[in-house]
A = this chain, B = another copy of it.
Amino acid sequence: MTRAPVTRKAFAYFYEMTTRWRDNDVYDHVNNAVFYEYIDTGVNAWIKLEAGLDVPGGDVVGLVVHSACDFYAPLSFPGRVTAGLAVEKIGRSSVTYRVGLFAGDAGRAAADARFTHVYVGRGDRRPVALPPEFRAALEGIARPAR
């Protein structure tokens, strides 16, 4: 919370979504758990639309093993939220994304998150190497961690 919120420059892919009336809590702001719906949506939109990974039909399944979020500013309904996405770390079976959430046209993030998938076999749920084409796609949106 001491550093300034991240800007859009840190991200390589952007997916715009909308907030819902049901997202607002008793304080008329989006509930904290809903931020993770936006984060999850940004990651999976890229995977399905850009990375060509067959979800959920393929042989590998991405399990979320860790996520975290710093919240800098409220979001609310009605409104637009853009998820900015970058890959921060690629392992043999795992990938950590950084996801920034931007309200409307804001340049500074309302939230700054990390989200780690481990890929496992559909049947045995054992870690597998990232499929080569998927790894290449991940490298295409890689940005070094600050």
Residues on A lying within 8 angstroms of B by beta carbon are 1, 16-18, 20-22, 24-28, 31-34, 36-41, 43-45, 48-49, 55-56, 61, 63-71, 77-78
Contact = CB atoms under 8 A, between A and B. Distances in A.
A68 B65 contact: no
For this chain, the copies found in one complex come to 4
A69 B69 CA distance: 9
- Main DSSP-derived SS at the A contact region: mixed
A20 B41 contact: yes
Nearest to A70: B66
A51 to B, nearest CB: 13
Contact of A32 (B67, B71, B78): B67
8 contacts: A1-B65, A20-B40, A22-B31, A22-B41, A24-B25, A26-B26, A32-B40, A66-B68
